[in-house]
Amino acid sequence: MNFINVKMFGNFEVTLNHKKILFPYNKAQALFCYLLVNKECTREKLAGLLWPEEEESIAKKNLRNALYKIKKTFNLEVLISPRKSTVMVNNNINIKSDVIDFLKNEDEIKLYSDPFLSGFYVKNAESFQNWLLQYRDYLQQIYIHRLKAKVYLENKNRNYDKMEDYCRLLIKTDEYDEESYRKLMYSLMNNNKPNKAIETYHKLSEILNKELNVEPSKETKKLFNEILNKTGHINNNSKAQKFFFGRYNELKSLRTNYFKFVNNIQSKSILILGEAGIGKTKLKEKFLENVSENNVYIFETCCYQFEKEYILKPWNPIMSNLAEIIKLDRINLPQGCENIIGSFFPQFDKNYSMDLKLIENNNNLKYEVIINAIENVFKKLGAMKKILLVFEDIQWIDSMSLSLLGSIILSENKNIILLATCRKERNEELDKFVTSMKMHNKLNIIELYRLDYRETEDFIKQALPNYNLSKKMIKKIYSETEGNLFFLTEYMNIIKSNGNINIMSSKMQDILKSRYLDISENGRKILNICSMFFDETPLYILVRLMHKDELEIMDMLEELEAKFILTETLNEDNINLKFTHQKLREFIYSNQSLARRKILHNKIGTIFEENLSRNKEDLNTYYKLIYHFSNASNYIKELKYSMKSLNVYLSFSHELFPVLYYSNTKYSNLYFSDEKALNSLSKIEKLLNKIENQAYSKEITLLEITFLHMKGRYLIRIGKYKEGTSIIKVMIDKSVNIKNASYALEGYKQMIYYCIQAYNVKDMITYVNLALNIAISEGHENEKAVLFRLKALYNNMCGNYTEAEKLLNKSINILERNTTISDKYALNIAAAYNYIGEIRRYSMKFSQAIEYYNKAIKICERKKVVSTSAIFNINAGEAAFDMGDYALAKKYFSSSLKIYNHFDLVWGRSVAEAFMSLLKIDENEFDTALSYLKAAHTHSEMLKSPHEIGLVYSIKAAIRAKMLKDENLNCIFQKYLCEDINYYCDIGINYLKKSLDDYEINVLLKLKYKVQNRDIK
């Protein structure tokens, strides 16, 4: 007999004979659920319920289709229609449902795992949605009524464990139900859990104040005071005092090393190592108290766990301070240094921090240039004054920052040392760094250990000189803290604050909770907000969230600073707040409810969002928005800013001639490698899938279209043309469906770029015309100019040079109509000049061609976009080669390869390498020439470009011809080029035909003719 089981509490699930069943669409599922609950209904009502906007005949037809689909899904007559006007559940089939069982058994609560059909939504069916919400509320009220009955019963039986469980279930169902909180506090108090009862009260206070702007009722406050009285907690405002204990040998080592350093005696960098809370930061701060900035430059930074994937982030504050010193002291830097450092750290000359998360940290950029530049700056600075680099929590440094730090410390500059704190935990990259530093005799490690019993006793006596604690009490303190200075300090703060020394039976977590009992309501609010930030909290955020002015907030902060919980920092004239210890932040954060954390993260994210400046500085805010919206479970916003951040880099990397929106930014640091792109796209795709499964909206559709665009162009870029173009076509269809011309235009342009790479001229002109139609109808002048250039390229590929040049000049005229437009579309103008250069080259007017290529190159140099100029240098090199100026050709090809050695670009690289192979042969450097040719072959095959593969085979044919005349050359190349000349010519011609390269084909045909006429023997 068939058996159907239906789960409707929480996420819907149905099985037939233990096999999961999936409905083809939501309205079929809705129809099934409605009838399962109501047993029977008229066709007319069902049609109106699910298809209210359709005409009656169409609605009934849709109903018939849905019934048929349900039948096909189960392969059973689950729903039947004994009378034409009604539909009902077939009672002859065994159907079990959690909702039906829940309603039948008046004592049942376990089946109610989550609200009825959580997250289920049916579009264009308002009546059904109203029924769903009403029925969901009906079931929830039954559930709440049963839970309250159980709370009453367990209280009567004094079974407080079970009473606590039922109270928590009630609060989970309604977090504003104050009565349930009171009963939970009552059960905790009677179950000897007073600290948990206190925590519950504070949680309730926070929720009511933040969400409803009210305080707990008198009844709740009365219960809270009873709990406080029973546990002996007394509120007062005595202030925690800071003091330094022990570590004198370690402090002496630091001071001795520093004395040697400033007096030019051999000294070393120092790593302070130890577990969390052992006193590393306190020791560092005590040492720095006596270091005068009159004698040394001190550059401090902190590494944060969340920022580990944000490359070079710890160097941002150092670079900002460095720039300020250079400006104030009017230090003249070596030529080019400022520009090079500025390309990685825009704040070096502009006072802001740019988010470098998306710079590839392995193979994308060669960092010798930036390392040398920074070393030069520190060398210049060190000649004036010694330099001390201070890194806090270096265990969370990213690999590229660590590499840069290692290069600087291991350099010959004796005027710079490092002081770093580090948690004692496994970190392979840091271990290698430490090993290397020690091997070069550049590093000493000061390891901090926990206090032993005698040291703990001395610590307590110094910290509490007015308290006479018994030996038994000291032993309890030592047993509880195990000599960890952070926990010892917290104990001392509690004892001084409360005057209560009888708290040692509590666990450390409870001690930390007690630390905050006498903090004012406003003080707790500040701490709760500050704990949302992994680094520092801007004062203006507190002003916005607490609806107070800055002076009021500063007054409230006094008690928290006096208790040494928060400290103020000043960053570029902006006041920020920071926890004195990360463990304090982690504790406060973890003790807030998930719901509260989500609300606060979302509000903070919204404030950051409102402050976006819509320019390059936003790049530094995107990662903060991602962090807060991610923790707020605001997946749409998280996705939005993840995609915005990624799109900035992918737009630059994937388009050969991108539009420059950030006109003052250097672009070397915007290049993005394939590995990083793949990881980022995969992460975004998972997030997008999660959102699509939960809801539907136009905004989500737009985000999906943006994602498809990014993924499609990425796949095309790495040679997966079929998959990439399929995705772009889907993107275009979706854009057209929602009538979004801008996205459709971007899709068409991406297909054009693909056609250029694949030399598919037939499809190329189709997409060019489709895109032009949109640009003209929408009045997009700038897009028209871009498309005129692309249409010119099509004509160029087809040999229609006159028409091509007309279109190119038309494009340039549109884009040069004013300075703003010409700056923004500078690379498109450069591309147009490049194509005119190509036309001149194909017409054998080589000098004119080089003039146009040079125009394109100069634009790239002016805009500091070196990656794009690689192609222009190659084309200029080919023109110089063709006119016999090999020295000039070598200059252009060398320039392009220099660029390729800094980036992981492939497009065009093989051409430069192939020609360099020929040039090296003329210089009799045969081994180098072979290396170039092998590299050219590899890179041409990677791109699968017919043009590049054809050109490489053309060069192979030319070299094969030279081998017949040069015995030494033949000796080096004979194993690699073992076929005859015609073999290489024929393959080259076949590929060049695909790319419509008539000019290059003629070169090979002439070579073949010479072979056939025995001009080459």
Q: For residue range 722-746, what is the model confidence (pLDDT) as tens digits?
A: 899 999 999 999 999 988 998 999 9
Confidence bin at 546 (pLDDT 50/70/90)? very high
CATH number for region 248-447: 3.40.50.300
Q: b/e string for 901-920 if b means 16 or more Cβ within 10 A? A: ebbbbbbbbbbbbbbbbbbb
Q: What is the maximum span of the chain, computed from C-alpha positions, in angstroms?
A: 112
pLDDT of residue 514: 59
Percent share of the chain, pLDDT over 90: 39
Taking 50 as the threshold, does the pLDDT of residue 241 lie above it?
A: no
The residues, any chain, with a CB within 8 Å of residue 557's CB and separated by 6 or more, are 526, 566, 568, 577
Q: Which is more confident, 996 or 511?
A: 996
Instruction: Give the pLDDT of residue 470.
Output: 83
Is residue 591 scored above 90 in pLDDT? Answer: no
User: In this predicted model, what pLDDT tens digit does every residue of 648-696 receive, in sequence order?
Assistant: 656 544 444 444 443 333 333 334 456 667 777 888 888 888 887 665 6
Which of 599, 611, 593 minimizes the C-alpha distance to 541?
Answer: 611
Half-sphere exposure of 362 (CA within 13 A, CB side): 5
Is the CA virtual torsion 485, 489, 490, 492 positive or negative? positive
Read off the pLDDT of each residue in 524-533 and give the average, rounded to a whole number.
Answer: 94
Bigger pLDDT: 74 vs 680: 74
Q: How far is residue 206's CA from residue 204's CA, in Å, rounded to a whole number?
A: 5
> 366 near 902, Cβ under 8 Å?
yes
How many angstroms separate the CA atoms of 548 and 542, rounded? 8
Please give the residue that has the higher pLDDT: either 580 or 849.
849
Mean pLDDT in residue range 944-949: 85
User: CB within 8 A of 549, min separation 6: which ones?
Assistant: 543
Compute the mean pLDDT over every residue in the chain, rounded to the nearest whole number. 83
Q: Are 359 and 311 in contact (CB under 8 A)?
A: yes
pLDDT tens-place string over residues 78-134: 999 888 889 999 988 999 999 999 999 888 899 998 899 988 888 888 889 889 989
Under the banding of pLDDT at 50, 70 and 90, the label for residue 233 is very low
From 355-364, 398-407, 425-434, 461-470, the region with the lowest mean pLDDT: 355-364
> Minimal CA–CA distance to 752: which of 715, 708, 793, 780?
793
pLDDT in tens, 622-640: 888 998 999 998 988 988 8
Query: What would the two tokens of residue 428 be?
Result: 């392979």
| pLDDT one-digit tens code per residue, 855-873 | 999 988 887 666 678 899 9
Q: Which residues of 766-793 are buried (b: 16+ CB within 10 A; e: fewer)?
A: ebbebbbebbeeeebebbbbbbbbbbbb
Alpha helices in 232-331 (DSSP H): 248-262, 280-289, 315-328
483 Rama sector, left if φ>0, alpha if ψ -120 to 50, beta otherwise? left
Which residues touch 86 (CB under 8 Å, ≥6 apart)?
Answer: 40, 41, 42, 43
DSSP 238: P
* Helix spans in 191-289 (H): 194-207, 218-231, 248-262, 280-289
**How far is the C-alpha of 603 from the C-alpha of 930, rounded, in Å?**
62
CB atoms within 10 A of CB 403: 17
Residue-level pLDDT at 504: 41
pLDDT at 542: 94
SS3 label, residue 881 = helix
Cβ–Cβ < 8 Å for 374, 416: no
Q: What pLDDT shows up at residue 647?
A: 72
Write 185-190 long-range contacts (CB < 8 A, 24+).
Answer: 185/220, 185/223, 185/224, 185/227, 186/155, 186/223, 187/155, 187/160, 187/163, 188/160, 188/164, 189/226, 189/227, 189/230, 190/158, 190/160
Please give the radius of gyration of the chain, using alpha carbons only, rounded to the nearest integer: 36
Question: Which residue's structure tokens are 């170039």?
Answer: 932
CA-closest candidate to residue 502, choices 476, 533, 530? 476
Quote the CA–CA distance of 631 and 621 in Å, as a whole number. Answer: 16
- Give residue 545's pLDDT: 94
- CATH 1.20.1250.20 matches 158-231: no
Does pLDDT of 561 surpass 90?
A: no
The neighbour count for residue 586, using CB atoms within 10 Å, is: 14
377 pLDDT above the threshold of 90: no
Instruction: Give percent of the chain with pLDDT exceeding 70.
Output: 87
Q: pLDDT (tens digit, 9 = 90+) per residue, 41-72?
A: 999 999 999 998 888 889 999 999 999 999 99
pLDDT at 272: 95
Decide: 768 and 745 in contact? Cβ < 8 Å: no
Cβ(114)–Cβ(10) below 8 Å:
yes
3-137 fold? Arc Repressor Mutant, subunit A (1.10.10)
pLDDT number for residue 243: 53
Question: Mean pLDDT over residues 774-778, rounded?
Answer: 91
> pLDDT at residue 39 above 80?
yes
**Residue of 929 and 688 predicted with greater confidence:** 929
* Range from 226-240, 362-376, 477-491, 960-974 carrying the lowest mean pLDDT: 226-240
pTM, two decimal places? 0.49
What would the mean pLDDT of 135-161 be, rounded to a whole number? 91
373, pLDDT greater than 90: no
